[in-house]
Amino acid sequence: MNLALIGFGTVGQGFAQLLRDKAADARFRSLDAHITVVVTRSRGALALESGLDSGLLLDAMAAGGLHVFPDLPGLRRDVTALDAVTLPSVDVVLDVTPSNLQNGHPSVDLGMAALAAGKHLVLANKGALVHGFERLNAAARASGRKLLYEATVMAGTPALRLAMQALAGCTLLEARGIVNGTTNYMLTQMQAGLPYAEALAEAQRLGYAEPDPTADVDGWDAASKAVILGAALFGRQFALNAMEVSGISHLTPGDIAAATAAGECWKLIARVTADGAWVRPTRIPLTHPLAGVAGPTNALTLTTDVLGDVTIIGKGAGGLQTGFGLLSDLLDIARSR
Amino acid sequence: MNLALIGFGTVGQGFAQLLRDKAADARFRSLDAHITVVVTRSRGALALESGLDSGLLLDAMAAGGLHVFPDLPGLRRDVTALDAVTLPSVDVVLDVTPSNLQNGHPSVDLGMAALAAGKHLVLANKGALVHGFERLNAAARASGRKLLYEATVMAGTPALRLAMQALAGCTLLEARGIVNGTTNYMLTQMQAGLPYAEALAEAQRLGYAEPDPTADVDGWDAASKAVILGAALFGRQFALNAMEVSGISHLTPGDIAAATAAGECWKLIARVTADGAWVRPTRIPLTHPLAGVAGPTNALTLTTDVLGDVTIIGKGAGGLQTGFGLLSDLLDIARSR
């Protein structure tokens, strides 16, 4: 299985690290996956039909970029992203570029090109689905290829697998949960007494929040996951800009104190049904299962017809963890071949 | 897919109800499953190669037993359990008899006979696995048939699927959780101030506890699930009678009060690793994710190498819910054919 990686940041490198470290595992040996193309925006590009060694790729990035990767016979350095998704030797395209939640560009177009070229498409990029799910899904069906995106919600914690595979046979009625770890960490800190600005600074210091925290604190990252859950669970494409989205930046110390006094806590909840989705800070009783989900952890509760509520709790971020989501999707592709 | 049901109590009837009510669902239509044999200990037996209508089976049980099932052409009423597991027309044997945790009799022998006759084996019966996992697993491998038992842990909540399928690629290091709903309900009530005897009476009134509550309150039901988790996750057969098993019947009001005063609560925790398993009442902080798992709900935390802790929370009992576990296993068998 020959892989093209579009992007090679934290998630791409986490994935390469897993390929390197899990190479001896029988399951992955049978997967026989090789990175044959890597394209980055500003740190070079590489293509080698016989496969690029994961360890050497990671060494090169640690040393400054793909330009320091050794000159092997057959190596190309002039590949573009569009080359990468259409090269005949590539079986699966993995989009691990940063999510563009504004319009999904250029991931939607690259994904469409990949599927048109007969590649399977595995996404860690949320923007591609938020803006292109219906088109990508239709293209995947038309070409008989897989469109998989476990890594986009709760990183590699198998929330989508739980809903779409393990619960097969149940009718899903609703999904709701904590799908943004940054704001959950901040809310946990704020409930411990930290003011908003200090909780944000702490989250940035720990690498949970971006220098520009807007996407997290204003609820847009959670909303993009709600859109993806709407697509995965209900086959619907909800419009991000038509959704009710409210973040945590307006929560006052008074709001926090009022919840605490009432035996409740604040969580930024995303909720999705077949009819729509919203994201808003919500007060829940301390006895509620989601109340114990603290810090950067994520959780998703799926309401089903037969089993009632089924909740999954796990890490929602991290390069290795998100890379594991990609690897899970590859195992699915291998099983279906 | 022709099914033989050994036993037809709450779980068997829950399963029949799902078959009846989900018959229109595309997924189940493609499963094309028919109950062709039902054998009970004291309420009759039936076999019909063309299939026994689920609705009629349920009606008969509601009216007193299988003897009132209408006399259809080809119907046999003289089948034994051993006939049922070896009839040539049967593809899958489902053992939904009450678990015999003492020695697994007769489920281990019936399961061995079913596998030897080339049937797939689906178990809701815990005793068969507690006392026969290694033999049954070896027989299933030898005959190339499936041995599946999702329904034995957390009813139909897909705890085993999560561990064995959705987390494929992770190395599992430990499983621990709340796998007995009766004692969890009682502990929740005791922490709300009810004495042990009243909590037990309440659990019995609600149907959570058996008239003889020993298996639940002394930890043996949880221990049997720990044995099954050891088998499923680590391929080990731990001996129930060599395991450290401690229940909740010795917990005093003073024990409860001491935990509450320390900001903690009691949970009956089962813990399993590759090296062994135990069940014991454990004090955990109220901020721990398992602390919020109240009443008859179950929860399992799987510690993995890549994803850290992944927790699944859901119902742990109920005829329909346990029946759904059986149905999930049938979908897996169908996928593998």
ipTM above 0.85, yes or no: yes
**In chain A, which ranges are continuous DSSP H helix?**
10-21, 26-31, 54-62, 81-86, 107-116, 126-143, 159-161, 181-191, 196-205, 214-217, 220-234, 253-261, 319-336
- CA-nearest residue to A23 within chain B is B169
pLDDT at A288: 84
| Whether residue A146 sits in one domain with residue A255 | no
Query: B134 falls in which pLDDT band (50, 70, 90)?
Result: very high
pLDDT computed for residue A328 by the predictor: 95
Average pLDDT across chain A, whole number: 95
Q: How many helices (DSSP H) and strands (DSSP E) are in chain A?
A: 13, 12
Is A141 in the same domain as A206? no
Q: Are residues A88 and A183 both part of a single domain? A: no
> Is the domain of B91 the same as that of B28?
yes
Q: What is the pLDDT of residue B27?
A: 79
What pLDDT score was predicted for residue B286? 84
What's the pTM value of the predicted model, to 2 decimals? 0.96
Q: Are B228 and B144 within one domain?
A: no
Query: Residue A278 corresponds to which amino acid?
Result: W
**Residue A149 sits in the same domain as residue A200:** no
Assess contact for A27 and A53: CB atoms under 8 A: no
CATH number at residue A83: 3.40.50.720
CA distance B25 to chain A (A): 8
Instruction: Residue B43: give the domain boundaries.
Output: 2-156+319-336
> SS3 of A58, please?
helix
What pLDDT score does A162 carry?
Answer: 97
B307 shares a domain with B170? yes
Chain A CB contacts of B170 under 8 Å are: 324
Instruction: Compare CB distances from A158 to B25, B162, B292 and report the shortest one's residue.
Output: B162
For residues A153 and A179, the answer to whether their CB atoms sit within 8 Å is yes
B18 with B146, same domain: the answer is yes
Q: How confident is the model at residue A216 (pLDDT cuts 50, 70, 90)?
A: very high
CATH number of the domain enclosing A204: 3.30.360.10
Q: Are both B148 and B176 inside the same structural domain?
A: no
Q: Is A267 a catalytic residue?
A: no
Least confident range of A183-192, A206-215, B42-51, B104-113: A206-215
Say yes or no for a CB contact (<8 Å) between A166 and B167. Answer: no
pLDDT cut 90: percent of chain A above it: 91
- As for how many domains chain B has, the answer is 2
* A169 to chain B, closest Cα gap in Å: 7
**Chain segment B224-245, per-residue pLDDT in tens:** 999 999 999 999 999 999 999 9
Task: Indicate whether A104 pLDDT > 90.
Answer: yes
Q: Quick one: B68 and B172 in the same domain?
A: no
B34-39 and B2-6 beta bridge pairing: parallel
Given a contact cutoff of 8 angstroms between Cβ atoms, the answer to whether A113 and A291 are in contact is no
Residue A24 has pLDDT above 90, yes or no: no
pLDDT of residue B288: 84
Asked whether residue A30 carries a pLDDT value surpassing 90, the answer given is: no
Q: Distance between CA atoms of B121 and A234, rounded to whole angstroms?
A: 33
Q: Give the H or E element holding residue B254.
A: helix B253-261
Give percent helix, percent strand, percent coil of chain A, each to the nearest 5.
Answer: 45, 20, 35
Looking at the structure, do residues B15 and B149 belong to the same domain, yes or no?
yes
Name every chain B residue with its beta carbon within 8 A of the beta carbon of A308. 314-315, 321
Query: Do both B140 and B77 map to the same domain?
Result: yes
